Amino acid sequence: MNDCADIKKEALRNMRSLVIHEVGMRDGLQIEKQMVPLEIKKSWLEKLLDSGVQVLQIGSFVHPEKVPQMNTTDDLVSHFISLEDQNTLLSGLVLNERGLDRGLRCGVELFCMGVSASNTHSRKNTGMSTEEALERIMNMADTALAEKKRVQLSVQSAFGCGFEGVIPPERILYIIEEYLSRGFMDISLADTAGKADPRQAAKLIEGVYNLSETFNLTCHFHNTYGAGFANCLAAWDAGVSTFETAFGGLGGCPFTKTTGGNVCTEDLVNLFRRMEIPTAVDIGPLIKVTSEAADFFGREMSGFLYKTVPADER
């Protein structure tokens, strides 16, 4: 790359700000056995809205027998969509057509749906192979777009699988090419099994941007093996500005081999602020939610900031 291109790339990087897609209420709570009452969920969601996160995932539209914690998603979305003074984009995860119909009835603004690059994980998560899920998901995405909704399509197990191990990059790029060919421009790479490392993450992201630079790329790293924050920094340096994270570092996929928590939202925001990277997110409400979650579940969260910032400084 020549000097002018390097200067231009650096200038564009310096213009970026950190964007948070907070997924704690879905990816964070879905593996918790202790049911969180509806009113407590509302209280936590209110604080998350107060934090100014740009996107907030309310929950997933799945069968309550499979993920009991998500049985209040419809009520929560209906309640928060009706608020006139909230500027955060509200998202919901759907796995099938029934979930999509529920989300449409509730008024979800951004539908998150995706395909696992691992056939084994795909069958455990959806009962379908990757190829079967790919066509089905894109047809669902077409339906959501026809209803004037925003859609984010993800590639799960993008950095490796607990069952299959390394996933060839060509497989991830093929799925993304299919997304792009159908006009879907909001794409997420999910480290479902927490297998990513910074060099691998940067290399894969570079390959994705070689396909196109006109779409929005989000990264979702799990901190299963302690590399989540390093992966976020590597992704940022590679050009990614949007990250899916969870307050307190809660969560993980219940359908992967080794479940690990997400990157902690408030810790990541704090890290980027210390690096003087712009962000509009207020840490105080995030710490309050994490502290309340720790009290509710009766255990320490994996996040650090809520344990180290004095109450009067939050």
What is the tens place of the pLDDT at every residue in 141-163?
999 999 999 999 999 899 988 77
DSSP 46-85: HHHHHTT-SEEEEEEE--TTT-GGGTTHHHHHHHHHT-SS
Average pLDDT on 29-52 reads 96
DSSP 82-149: T-SS--SEEEEEE-SHHHHHHHHHHT-SEEEEEEES-HHHHHHHHSS-HHHHHHHHHHHHHHHHHTT-
Sorting pLDDT into bands at 50, 70 and 90, what band is 177?
very high
Alpha-carbon span 92 to 87, nearest angstrom: 16
Alpha-carbon span 174 to 70, nearest angstrom: 32
Neighbours of 85 (CB within 10 A): 5
Sorting pLDDT into bands at 50, 70 and 90, what band is 8?
very low
Alpha-carbon span 217 to 248, nearest angstrom: 24
Alpha-carbon span 251 to 261, nearest angstrom: 4
Contact (CB, 8 A) for 80 and 49:
yes
Contact (CB, 8 A) for 138 and 178:
yes
Sorting pLDDT into bands at 50, 70 and 90, what band is 10?
low
Mean pLDDT of the chain: 90
Alpha-carbon span 267 to 91, nearest angstrom: 22
β-partners of residue 110 are: 91, 150
Between the alpha carbon of residue 8 and those of residues 1, 52, 90, 108, 216, the distances in Å are: 11, 30, 33, 37, 19
What is the tens place of the pLDDT at every residue in 244-276?
999 999 986 555 444 568 999 999 999 999 999
**Predicted local confidence at residue 6, as pLDDT:** 52
Measured torsion, CA atoms of residues 75, 30, 125, 107, in degrees rounded to the nearest 10: 20
Between these two residues, 151 and 86, which has the higher pLDDT value?
A: 151
Domain at 37, CATH number: 3.20.20.70
Contact (CB, 8 A) for 153 and 190:
no
Structural domain containing residue 81: 3-313
**Predicted local confidence at residue 1, as pLDDT:** 47
pLDDT at 231 over 70: yes
Average pLDDT on 72-82 reads 96
**Token pair of 303, please?**
């996040």
Categorise residue 249: left if φ over 0, alpha if ψ from -120 to 50, beta otherwise. Answer: left
3-state SS assignment for residue 245: strand
What is the C-alpha R_g of the chain?
18
**Predicted local confidence at residue 128, as pLDDT:** 76
pTM (2 decimals)?
0.91
Q: How many domains, the chain?
A: 1
